């Protein structure tokens, strides 16, 4: 197996691991866990993201035929009182719907399960925060995902290439910079606009870490590209850009994302 193939395999492994970690730790990834109700283990998977126009269904497995439940919810960061709604039974599940919110709106919710002998809360010690957004058309979302994955992959592969003393880094750096720019600065704002009616909510306009980390990665590769053009042996800048990008994209997706101010 050639050195080039080995480096590509290593880059793919690192990129996939980073992407999976980012996805699983993000605030919009479903909350999973288990509780015990009257000696019966109940697994749950509760959504933390909803698309406007689609029912915001919350569903959990019924521990037994005698199990009943309530969906308890209120708007996030508001002075609302908690609303208690009975869950409906069907196909071995209990389900309810939380009220639809405007784009960027968030709801807090939890579930109370009961049977003839006990009551248990899901999750046991806190509530779920779910955010609403508008639907994003595939022509914007799919290229965004593809280019951002390619940006992460090329960044890692270029960083590995920079560790090889005889390699020419200009073309590697250019392709990485192009992928970051197209994915993060062209399709990224389009996705943000469709989802939350704002092209940019990161630094310096807001606190959205997804936008901000994209800007940081872009700046790192611009700096690396400038230094490589001035001095082809400036490999340290390329390695630094790859590390910065890896660390930036390790930040959970949608962290400190767009949020509607109910006040």
Residues 142 and 67 in one domain: no
Tell whether 152 and 219 lie within a shared domain. yes
| pLDDT value, residue 255 | 64
Q: Would residue 117 count as lying in a domain?
A: yes
pLDDT band at 206 (very low <50, low <70, confident <90, very high): confident
Q: Is residue 206 part of a domain?
A: yes
Window from 8-17, 18-27, 153-162 with minimum mean pLDDT: 18-27
Give 257's pLDDT tier (boundaries 50, 70, 90).
Answer: low
The more confidently predicted of residues 114 and 256 is 114
Rounded distance, CA 88 to CA 81, Å? 22
Examine the domain organization and report whether 74 and 18 are in the same domain: no
What is the crossing angle of helices 138-162 and 188-196, to 10°?
Answer: 140
Interatomic CA distance for residues 222 and 219, integer angstroms:
5
Distance CA 186, CA 131 (A): 24
Average pLDDT, the chain: 91
Residue 256, pLDDT above cutoff 70? no
Q: What's the pTM value of the predicted model, to 2 decimals?
A: 0.87
Q: Which of 109, 133, 157 is the last residue of a domain?
A: 133
Tell me the DSSP string of the chain: --HHHHHHHHHHHHHHHHHHHHHHTSTTSPEEEEEEETTEEEEEEE-SEEETTS--EEEEE-SSTT-EEEEEEEETTS-PPPEEEEPEEETTEEEEEPPP--TT-EEEEEEEEE-SS-EEEESSSS-EEEEEE----HHHHHHHHHHHHHHHHHHHHHHHHHTSTT---HHHHHHHHHHHHIIIIIIHHHHHHHHHS-S--STTT---HHHHHHHHHHHHHHHHHHHHHH-TT-HHHHHHHHHHHHHHHTSPTTTT-------
Name the residue with tokens 């993201």.
49
Domain count, the chain: 2
Residue 83: inside a domain: yes
Given a contact cutoff of 8 angstroms between Cβ atoms, the answer to whether 239 and 86 are in contact is: no
Residue 125: band (very low, low, confident or very high) from pLDDT cuts 50, 70, 90: confident
74's CB contacts (< 8 A; 6+ apart) are: 80, 81, 82, 83, 107, 108, 109
31 lies in some domain: no
Confidence grade of residue 254 (pLDDT, cut at 50, 70, 90): low
Note whether 174 and 88 are same-domain residues. Answer: no
pLDDT at 214: 93
For tokens 């283990």, the residue is: 41
Tell me if 68 sits within 8 A of 94, measured CB to CB.
Answer: yes
| 107: containing domain | 38-133
For residues 158 and 238, is the Cβ–Cβ distance under 8 A? yes
Confidence of residue 25 (pLDDT cuts 50, 70, 90): confident
257 in any annotated domain: no
């Amino acid at each position: 197996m050639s050195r080039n193939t080995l480096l590509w395999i290593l880059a793919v492994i690192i990129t996939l691991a980073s992407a999976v970690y980012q996805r699983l730790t993000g605030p919009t990834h479903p909350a999973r866990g288990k509780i015990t109700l009257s000696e019966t283990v109940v697994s749950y998977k509760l959504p933390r993201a909803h698309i406007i126009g689609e029912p915001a269904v919350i569903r959990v497995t019924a521990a037994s035929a005698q199990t009943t439940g309530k969906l308890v919810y209120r708007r996030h960061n508001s002075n609302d009182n908690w609303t208690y709604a009975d869950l409906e039974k069907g196909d071995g599940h209990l389900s309810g719907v939380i009220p639809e919110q405007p784009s960027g709106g968030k709801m807090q919710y939890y579930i109370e399960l009961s049977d003839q002998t006990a009551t248990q809360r899901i999750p046991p010690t806190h509530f779920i925060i779910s955010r609403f957004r508008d639907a994003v058309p595939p022509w914007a979302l799919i290229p965004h995902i593809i280019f951002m994955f390619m940006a992460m992959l090329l960044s890692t592969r270029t960083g590995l290439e920079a560790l090889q003393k005889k390699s020419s880094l200009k073309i590697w750096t250019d392709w990485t910079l192009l992928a970051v720019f197209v994915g993060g600065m062209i399709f990224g704002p389009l996705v943000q606009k469709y989802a939350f009616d704002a092209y940019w909510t990161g630094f310096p306009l807001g606190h959205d870490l997804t936008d901000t980390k994209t800007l940081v990665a872009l700046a790192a590769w611009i700096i690396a590209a400038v230094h490589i053009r001035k001095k082809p042996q400036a490999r340290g800048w390329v390695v630094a850009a790859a590390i910065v990008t890896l660390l930036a994209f390790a930040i959970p997706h949608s962290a400190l994302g767009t949020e509607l101010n109910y006040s």
